[in-house]
Chain A
Amino acid sequence: NAGVMQNPRHLVRRRGQEARLRCSPMKGHSHVYWYRQLPEEGLKFMVYLQKENIIDESGMPKERFSAEFPKEGPSILRIQQVVRGDSAAYFCASSPWAAYEQYFGPGTRLTVT
């Protein structure tokens, strides 16, 4: 059973460009969570999604950030008009149901130049 997959593993964008981060949950998992880790800090929750629904986006910045988890395909975290402060590691996690253990992917390291 493959683990949570994220791609790309590393992403470099210039200020003002768009970044698209992808997450494929573990097989049988329909709950996806995105977290951000700034350098030398712990992980901070961003958004929780189930198929086709955003359940909790209380950790998402109000502007430029969006997330989706379509019926088919991976979950996407989209950052428009990136700024240097968006440079971070973005982790995706999945679980088979809401109240259970979360399993993390390897992360996408975004660098904004």
Chain B
Amino acid sequence: GIQVEQSPPDLILQEGANSTLRCNFSDSVNNLQWFHQNPWGQLINLFYIPSGTKQNGRLSATTVATERYSLLYISSSQTTDSGVYFCAVRGAQKLVFGQGTRLTINP
């Protein structure tokens, strides 16, 4: 089955810093989604991005499907950005999740 690897596993930054999270996947995929799981456990959809680049405020994402990776950029981090960021790729009908990157933003 498809393997999804995310890096780094943990990231600690000061408020205002920028960060790049990476997602590598082992096979061609039909779609790719980025999620933020907040400290209360809720999963928030960030991007649906099978290919190309999208931006939403301070967040942007790029997927290069031919090279099997996606990047999530967070600029000017805020403490509310803390939580776990998951990449998930769709093989067949189901989403396969990576293990996540735990982001901690200190004030």
Cβ-defined contact, A107 with B43, below 8 A: yes
Q: Is B63 an interface residue (CB 8 A)?
A: no
Query: Which residue in A42, A48, A59, A107 is a CB contact (below 8 Å) of B41?
Result: A107
Query: Which residue in A43, A101, A107 is a CB contact (below 8 Å) of B45?
Result: A101
Cβ-defined contact, B43 with A101, below 8 A: no
Residues of B within 8 A of A (CB-CB), count: 21
Query: Which residue in B33, B42, B86 is a CB contact (below 8 Å) of A102?
Result: B33
Please report the C-alpha to C-alpha distance between residue A98 and residue B95 in the assembled complex, in whole angstroms.
Answer: 11
Mostly helix, strand, loop or mixed at chain B's interface? strand
| Total inter-chain residue pairs, C-beta < 8 Å | 53
Cβ-defined contact, B93 with A42, below 8 A: no
Q: What are the 5 A-B residue pairs with the smallest beta carbon separation, nearest first?
A: A101-B48, A45-B94, A42-B97, A104-B43, A43-B97
Chain A interface size band reads 20 to 34
Contacts of A100 in B (CB 8 A): 31, 48
Cβ-defined contact, A104 with B97, below 8 A: no
Q: Which residues of A contact B (CB under 8 A)?
A: 33, 35, 41-45, 48, 55-56, 58-59, 89, 91, 93, 98-104, 106-107, 109
Cβ-defined contact, B41 with A104, below 8 A: no
Cβ-defined contact, A48 with B94, below 8 A: yes
Cβ-defined contact, B86 with A104, below 8 A: no
Contacts of B33 in A (CB 8 A): 101-102
Chain A residue nearest to B42 in the complex (CB): A106
